[in-house]
Amino acid sequence: MRYQLARILCAALPLLGGLASAAERGHSESIAVVVGAESGIADVTMDTLRELYLRRRRVWPDGSRVIPVNLPADSETRKTFSKLVLGRLPQDLSGYWNRLYFDGIQPPVVLRTPEAVCAYLAVEPKAIGYMRRDEVDRAACRILLVLGE
Amino acid sequence: MRRVIELRRMWSIAVVPALLVTVLAASALAGPIVTRDPSGVGIVLPGNLWISGDATITVEAPETQPTTFELDDVSLLARWEPLSRLAFFGELRLENVFEVVEHEGVITSGGIVEIERLYAETLLTPELSLRIGKVFTPFGLWNVISRGPLTWTVEEPAITENVFPQRATGLSLVYQKTWRGWSFDATAYAPGQNQIQFREAEDESLDSGLLFGGRVAAGRDFGPAYASLGLNAAGFTRRESREWQTATGLDLEVYAGGHEITGELTYRVPAAGGRTTHGLYIQDAIPIVRTLYGVLRFEYFRRPDGPAATGQLVGLFWRPVPNLVLKTQYIFGTRRLENLETGFEASLSLLF
């Protein structure tokens, strides 16, 4: 766990400060579901995505642990993703996560920016995340699925 | 011998608070690097060990009973996932720590440590898991969250209490799958009841003997709303009399416009004939502002030895910060039953 977190810091710190603004890149409504460029995950369906982000499924078909990554709950991208995939806004899932608390199952981890997500996915092949399509760092991440097109 | 028993009791009472203090200290030292949603509590330690705990203070002012103030539940939960397909879960609960009763003063029973749940879980496939040990009986919606601090109300609905065995010990198979937008859940469990415990149950009416049962449920999004319907069935017997009983039920969940609407209908029938126990509840958690919710609940409950009773609950649920839950409610009713007491209740829960 510590090694994984250290890798996040090393990869993400240079990117967390002067972020290119969304205005500079332009705005896209499409949301890309991404994994690391070196990840062995080939594809994912909407049904599977829903299972992963509701923590109903916690391993990949090869038995390795799934690490879904969220953006902050107040992020517009997160809200759009949550509506498209989970059918509800993040705040409407509080009752659901309250119930899963009783089995010790926690919501997905949260990284603050798409750049941090890409940096983490680049070093963690079992993680999966999402961001606006125009925010994807193609050198670090690979798009599995595009939502909202 | 007596001294050994006293020492053992003191140790068992001290272990839960001691572990909670340890969790607090570790949490203070850990500090976030990645964050979790505000709804997440507990701490994750190296090696995929999650630990959490909670303590609840309750005030009850029934219409016809003395007012009580009690520290009733102190819980410690832990989940350890040494492998991606293997997990261990345990929940200890310290009950009846102390109570102040109107006109009677302070009553301290010294506390009783109970093993609420203890099981190993292995993922046979990504959709199918096997649990071995003691779990909350997966009958309906309420029992699997039981009396925890994150339920919407202070007390559970009458129909969910002592109508079917609330704990199952043995094997549980859990299947979860989403297919073409439909979410399917199926659970099967057997063969025992509350078998893993520190002490013998005082009331063996529904706490011992055999138990077989299952639940199937299906849900999906309907536009901006989500709905799920479940079907429950269980057969169980008392250890002493071998008298079989069956319980069947339906449960319903609807999420719409921020509301969380839940309901259950349960029917218990003794195999040898005789009168049934049955009842239902329907509850709506209504968003007011941010983490403040209003709660409305209607209940109907009928025991075999008396006329039916109804209850209406009006309450509030507030979680100002992730680690604090405040609840208050008033129950109006047509009859006073032990598990459908009219009057005021409030609770404060701290989560770690």
- Tokens (6 digits) for B119: 């099981």
- pLDDT per residue over A23-36, tens digit each? 333 344 799 999 99
A60-65 own/partner pairs: CB under 8 Å, 24+ apart? A60/A126, A60/B126, A61/B126, A63/B84, A63/B85, A63/B123, A64/A126, A64/B84, A65/A126, A65/B81, A65/B84
Query: Which of B308 and B4 is assigned the larger pLDDT?
Result: B308
Domains of chain A plus CATH, in order, are: 2-147 (3.40.190.10)
pLDDT exceeds 90 at position B87: yes
ipTM of the complex in this document? 0.81
| Whether A56 and B178 lie within 8 Å, measured CB to CB | yes
Number of A–B residue contacts, CB under 8 Å? 116
Selecting from B126, B152, B183 the residue whose C-beta is nearest the C-beta of A59 gives B126
The 10s digit of each residue's pLDDT in B200-241 is 555 545 467 888 999 999 999 998 899 999 999 999 887 666
Q: What is the largest CA-CA distance in chain A?
A: 44
pLDDT at residue A97 is higher than 80: yes
Residue with more model confidence, B16 or B190: B190
CA–CA gap between residue B344 and residue A97 (Å, rounded): 28
What percent of chain B shows pLDDT beyond 70? Answer: 81
Please report the pLDDT score of residue A25 as a whole number. Answer: 35
With a threshold of 0.80, does the pTM exceed it? yes
Structure tokens at B181: 């937008």
From chain A, pick out residues whose CB is under 8 angstroms from the CB of B150. Answer: 98-99, 101-102
Choice between A6 and B243, residue whose per-residue pLDDT is larger: B243
Q: Is the Cβ–Cβ distance between A104 and B78 less than 8 Å? A: yes
pLDDT band, residue B284 (cuts 50/70/90)? very high
Per-residue pLDDT at B121: 96
- Find, in chain A, the residue whose alpha carbon is nearest to that of B222: A87
CB pair distance less than 8 Å for B255 and A60: no
CA dist B189 → A55, B136, B143, B292 (Å): 22, 11, 14, 36
Provide the pLDDT confidence category of residue A19 given band limits of 50, 70 and 90: very low
- pLDDT average, residue stretch B49-62: 91
More confident: B270 or A61? A61
Q: Binning pLDDT at 50, 70 and 90, where does residue A10 land?
A: very low
Structure confidence at residue B104 as a pLDDT band (50, 70, 90): confident
Instruction: Report the chain B residue with the minimal C-alpha distance to residue A89.
Output: B258
- Which pLDDT belongs to residue B40? 60
B78: chain A residues, CB-CB within 8 Å: 104
Interface probe with B: pick from A10, A55, A106, A112, most Cβ of B within 10 Å: A106
Chain B stretch 315-334, residues whose beta carbon is closer than 8 A to a beta carbon of chain A: none
Quick: pLDDT tens for B297-345: 999 998 887 788 899 999 999 999 888 999 999 999 876 666 677 899 9
Which among A56, A107, A112 has the least Cβ separation from residue B36? A107
**Are the C-beta atoms of residues A19 and A113 closer than 8 Å to each other?**
yes
Interface residue of B178, B262, B317 to substitute, partner A, most A CBs within 10 Å:
B178
Which residue has better confidence, B336 or B87? B87
Question: How sure is the predictor about A91, in pLDDT bands with cuts at 50, 70 and 90?
Answer: confident
Q: Is the pLDDT of residue A14 over 50?
A: no
Give, rounded to a whole angstrom, the gap between the first and last alpha carbons of chain B: 37
Q: Would you give the distance in Å from CA B275 to the centre of its chain?
A: 27
In the predicted structure, residue B5 carries a pLDDT above the cut 90: no
Task: Work out the average pLDDT over B258-278.
Answer: 88
* pLDDT tens, position by position, B65-85: 889 898 878 999 999 999 999
Residue recorded with tokens 């005030």: B59
Q: Considering only CB atoms, which chain A residues are within 8 Å of B87?
A: 104
| Res A60: pLDDT | 94
Alpha-carbon span B136 to B77, nearest angstrom: 14
Q: Which residues of B touch A75 (CB under 8 A)?
A: none
CA separation for the pair B17, B24 (Å, rounded): 11
Q: What is the pLDDT of residues B113-165, one digit of tens each?
A: 888 899 999 999 999 999 999 999 999 999 888 766 878 999 889 888 878 88
More confident position, A149 or A25: A149
B144 lies within 8 A of chain A by CB:
yes
Among chain B residues, the shortest Cα distance to A7 is held by B33
Two tokens, residue B108: 């301290």
Among A110-114, B262-266, B305-309, which is the least confidently predicted range? Answer: B305-309
Write out pLDDT tens, residues B166-184: 889 999 999 999 999 999 9
Mean pLDDT of chain B: 83
